[in-house]
Amino acid sequence: MWTPVTEKVDASLTRWEKLHPTLEARCQILQITVGSMSQYLTQVNEMPPAVFNHLLKAMREFMWGGKSPPINFETLTAPRDKGGKNLLDLKARNDALHLMKLKSYLDLDPSTRAEWCYLLDRRLAKRVTNDSRAAPEALINTFLQSWRADEREWPKRHKSMMRSAKKFGISFDVLAATTEVLSDLPIWHHHGENPHMPQTNNSPACYCLRGQHGVIRTGDGLTRLRRLDNPTHKKNKNCKCVDCDQDRRNLGCANPHACAIAVEKKLSRLMPKWDPRTNPAPLDADDAESEDEDPSSFPPVRPTSAISEGFRILTCLSETLPSLGPSLPSEDEAPQPSQAFFTKGITIRDRDGNTRAAGGLWYDDHDERNTALLLPIHLRQTARTAELAAALHGVQSAPRNQDLIIYYSQKSIRSEILQKLDTREASGWIGAQDSSLLRALAAALRGRTGKTTFVAQDSSQARKTGKAGAVALARQGARKREAAEINPFVDPEHNLRGVQLSTLTQKLAYRGIKQARKIAPRMATTNNVKEVTQATFRNFGFSPTEAEFWSSIRHKDFSRQVKNFLYKSAHSAHRIGAFWKHIPECEERGICCRKYGVSTRPQPAHQCGRDSIILTCRKYGVSTRLQVLVRYPECNNISRRTYPQPAHQCGRD
C-alpha cells in the first residue's frame, strides 16, 4: 500500500536535486512532496514505522544533498523566530492527523457521527480494565466517563488515535454548561463525581435502574427523582403513589422508592458544576451587553451548549499552576463603593541597550495603592504587556465583591478580554502573545462577583489627570533596579486547559504539538546570537531580541546566497575552524596559519575560522568587500555575485 507513495517521493526528490535548490527552497520542496504525497494515506490508515523511517531518512538526505548535516533536523523544524526553517515535522504532522481522527470520533451528534465511531464504542466497552468493571449498558464512551479500556486490547486500526489522545491529555471540562448538556451526560461512571467519595455503580438498586428503569443519562435519573417531592409519596417500598405503582406494574421494580434514593445519592456525589439541580440559568444573549460599545462590562461565562464542545486536547500546553493564589479580601466584607483605576505601559532602553517595559497603576493622588511596576525579563518587554501586568495587579488587589472601572490606554487589551476571549480559549492560546497574563486576568475577572467595566482613556479633564498619573508611575517603575513580582495565578475553577477539540484544525494541532515539544538549544548558536547582540549594542546603542536577529538576516535586500551564508554562520554550520577539531587527522585544518604563523605557504580558506575569514583574512576573506559595502551602501550588486570578487568589479553607482 505504501510502496507507490515512497517510490513517488524518492523519484520527485531525485528530480528536484538536479536543480540544486537553496536551503530555503528545499524546505518548501519537502513540504509539497513528502507532506502532500503522504497526507491522504496517513489520514485513512496508520503510517507504518518502516515507512516513517524511510521518509525521514529521505528528508534528511535531501536537505543537505546527501552530505553530513551541519545543523540537526530538529533545529530546522523550529519556528523562524527561534532559529529554525519551519521545516515539515513529519512526526508532529502524523500526530495532528491522529487528533483530527479523534475529533471525528468524539463528535457525538447523531446526525453527523460516523458508524465506525459507534462500533469503536462497543469494542472498547468489551475491553474494560479490571478496576473499571461495570455492566455493558453503563459504558457509553471512555473519554466521557471514568472507566478505561485496556491498552493492550485497543483495536489495531485505531491504536495510534488512542495513544495520541492519551499522550496529549484528552479531557472533558467546561466552565459552565446548560441544563440540557448536564442532563445528557451519562450518570454511570460520571467523570464529575467527587473523587473523595465512594462510587456506587454496581449496587442492586443501580442494576435495577439500568435494567428495569432504563436510566442511562443524568436526565433519566432526574425523572425518577421527582417523586420524592410528591406529597403523596411515602418513603417506603410499599408506596402507593402513581409513579411507584406504575413502576411496579409496567417495569417490574420491587422497590421504586429505593431506586429513587439511589439516584439521589448518585447525584449528590457530583460536584456542583456537574449537578443539573444546582446549575444556574444560562446567559440570555439578549440580556448581555454589547462588547463593541464603550464602556463595556466583562461578560459572564457563556455556558456550553453541546457535549462535543467540552472535550479538550493538548492540555499538556497549560502551564503548571501555583499551589497558592494571591491573598484576596474576604467575601464576607460589607459592600463597598465602586473603585476606578488607570493603567499605562511604556518601554525604555536601559543602560545595557535592552528594551525594558514598565507599567503604572494609578488610583488617586497620594493613594497608597498607586503602583509602579518594572516587568521581569522573562515577560515580553512591550507597553501592552506592562499595562496588562498593571491591570492584573489592580484586579487581584481589589475585593471580589467590589465594582471596578478600569481605564485602559491599549485598545488591544479590551479586544482580547471582551471580544476574543472565547476564541483564544478555544484555540488554547496557541500563538497568542502575553497569554499567561491574559489567562490570569480573565480567570481573576471571572472569579469576581462585582461588576467590572472597561473604559477607554479619552481627552476629558478628569481622565487626563488619571492618565498623567499612570504615565508618571510607569516612568517611576522604569527607573527601578529590581523587577516586580508578577503573580500570573490562574484559578483552575475559572480556567480551561488545552484546545477545544470540536474547533481543532490540523494546522492548529500541528502548531500545538510543536509548541509542546522542547527543542534543546544549540550552544554554538546561543553564543553567536549573544555575540551579535553585544556587538550591536557597542556600535549602535541597542540590543536586538532573538526574534529581531533572525528576522534581520532574512531581510529582502539580501540575496538568497547571502541569506544562506548568514544563516549558516549564525549556527556555526560552515565547515571551517572548530568543525575540524574532532575529525581524526584533520585537526590542523581548524588552525588559521596567518593568525598563528603555522605556515607561510598558501592554505585553503577552510583552515581559517569564521571571524578570520570575514574580518582579517586578506587573501581569502571578504573584508575588502565589506569595506566597499560600508563606504558605498548603494552598491547592492556585490551581494548578488559569487564571492570573493575584487572590489574594482563593483562600480560606485
pLDDT given for residue 644 in this prediction: 42
Dig out the grid coordinates for 110 from the structure.
447523531
Whether residue 555 is contained in a domain is answered as yes
Q: What CATH number does the domain containing 353 carry?
A: 3.30.420.10
* Under 8 Å between Cβ of 295 and 455: yes
336 — pLDDT class (breaks 50, 70, 90): confident
Tell me: pLDDT of 48 over 90.
yes
Tell me, yes or no, whether 352 and 464 share the same domain. Answer: yes
Task: Indicate the residue among 496, 514, 549 that finishes a domain.
Answer: 496
pLDDT given for residue 642 in this prediction: 40
Tell me, yes or no, whether 572 and 641 share the same domain. Answer: yes
pLDDT, average across residues 284-304: 68
pLDDT given for residue 10 in this prediction: 96
Tell me, yes or no, whether 486 and 566 share the same domain. Answer: no
Q: What is the pLDDT of residues 476-487, one digit of tens each?
A: 999 998 999 988
Whether residue 511 is contained in a domain is answered as no
How many domains is the chain partitioned into structurally? Answer: 4
Residue 486 makes CB contacts below 8 A (sequence gap 6+) with: 373, 375, 376, 379, 389, 392, 393, 437
Q: What angle (nearest 5°) sits at the alpha carbon of residue 623, between those of residues 618 and 628? A: 125
* Size of the chain in residues: 653
**Minimum mean pLDDT range among 217-231, 528-542, 618-632:** 618-632
Dig out the grid coordinates for 62 from the structure.
535531501
Q: Which domain holds residue 251?
A: 176-282
Task: Indicate the residue among 63, 88, 113 that finishes a domain.
Answer: 88
Tell me, yes or no, whether 570 and 642 share the same domain. Answer: yes
pLDDT given for residue 508 in this prediction: 96
Dig out the grid coordinates for 71 from the structure.
545543523
**Minimum mean pLDDT range among 137-151, 170-184, 556-570, 591-605:** 591-605
Tell me: pLDDT of 326 over 60.
no
pLDDT given for residue 180 in this prediction: 93
Dig out the grid coordinates for 208 from the structure.
435495577
Tell me, yes or no, whether 410 and 490 share the same domain. Answer: yes
Q: What is the pLDDT of residues 237-291, one digit of tens each?
A: 899 999 999 999 999 999 999 999 999 999 999 999 999 988 655 554 444 445 5
Reported pTM = 0.86
**CB neighbourhood size of 421 (10 A):** 22
Instruction: Find cell 468524539 and name the residue.
Output: 106
Whether residue 48 is contained in a domain is answered as yes
**Minimum mean pLDDT range among 319-323, 492-496, 583-587:** 319-323
Tell me, yes or no, whether 590 and 625 share the same domain. Answer: yes
Distance, C-alpha 402 to centroid of its chain: 33
Tell me, yes or no, whether 483 and 364 share the same domain. Answer: yes
pLDDT given for residue 632 in this prediction: 47
pLDDT given for residue 270 in this prediction: 93
> In a 10 Å sphere around its CB, with 0-12 CB exposed, 13-18 middle and 19+ buried, how is residue 285 labelled?
exposed
Instruction: Find cell 588552525 and name the residue.
Output: 591
**CB neighbourhood size of 409 (10 A):** 17
Greatest alpha-carbon span in the chain: 114
* 616 vs 377 pLDDT, higher one: 377
As a whole number of angstroms, the distance between CA 413 and CA 468 comes to 19
pLDDT given for residue 353 in this prediction: 77
Whether residue 263 is contained in a domain is answered as yes
Whether residue 321 is contained in a domain is answered as no
Task: Indicate the residue among 59, 88, 117 that finishes a domain.
Answer: 88
pLDDT given for residue 319 in this prediction: 55
pLDDT given for residue 119 in this prediction: 94
Tell me: pLDDT of 496 over 50.
yes
Whether residue 470 is contained in a domain is answered as yes
As a whole number of angstroms, the distance between CA 62 and CA 164 comes to 29
**Minimum mean pLDDT range among 103-112, 461-470, 635-644:** 635-644
pLDDT, average across residues 174-186: 94
Phi and psi of 77, rounded to 5°? -80, -10
pLDDT given for residue 316 in this prediction: 82
pLDDT, average across residues 538-549: 87
Whether residue 445 is contained in a domain is answered as yes
Tell me, yes or no, whether 445 and 368 share the same domain. Answer: yes
Tell me, yes or no, whether 84 and 196 share the same domain. Answer: no
* Under 8 Å between Cβ of 509 and 99: yes
What is the per-residue DSSP string for 340-399?
Answer: EEEEEEEEEE-TTS-EEEEEEEE-STT-TT-EEEE--TTS--SHHHHHHHHHHHHHHHS-
322 — pLDDT class (breaks 50, 70, 90): very low
376 — pLDDT class (breaks 50, 70, 90): very high
131 — pLDDT class (breaks 50, 70, 90): confident
**Minimum mean pLDDT range among 80-89, 271-280, 396-405, 471-480:** 271-280
As a whole number of angstroms, the distance between CA 439 and CA 429 comes to 8
Q: Which residues pair with 177 in a beta bridge?
A: 304
pLDDT, average across residues 464-479: 93
Q: What is the pLDDT of residues 182-216, one digit of tens each?
A: 999 999 999 999 888 888 888 899 999 999 999 99
- Average per-residue pLDDT in the chain? 85
Tell me, yes or no, whether 17 and 73 share the same domain. Answer: yes
Tell me, yes or no, whether 628 and 542 share the same domain. Answer: yes
Please give the span between the terminal C-alpha atoms of the chain, in angstroms, as a whole number.
61
650 — pLDDT class (breaks 50, 70, 90): very low
* Under 8 Å between Cβ of 605 and 586: no
As a whole number of angstroms, the distance between CA 388 and CA 85 comes to 32
Q: Which residues pair with 347 in a beta bridge?
A: 357
Q: What is the pLDDT of residues 219-244, one digit of tens each?
A: 999 999 999 989 999 999 899 999 99
Q: Which of 610, 606, 614 is nearest to 586 (CA)?
A: 606
pLDDT given for residue 288 in this prediction: 46
Tell me: pLDDT of 452 over 70.
yes
Whether residue 578 is contained in a domain is answered as yes
Tell me, yes or no, whether 210 and 78 share the same domain. Answer: no
* Under 8 Å between Cβ of 157 and 101: no
Q: What is the pLDDT of residues 588-610, one digit of tens each?
A: 777 765 554 444 444 454 555 56
pLDDT, average across residues 9-34: 95
Q: Provide, rounded to the nearest whole percent, the portion of the chain with pLDDT above 70.
A: 85
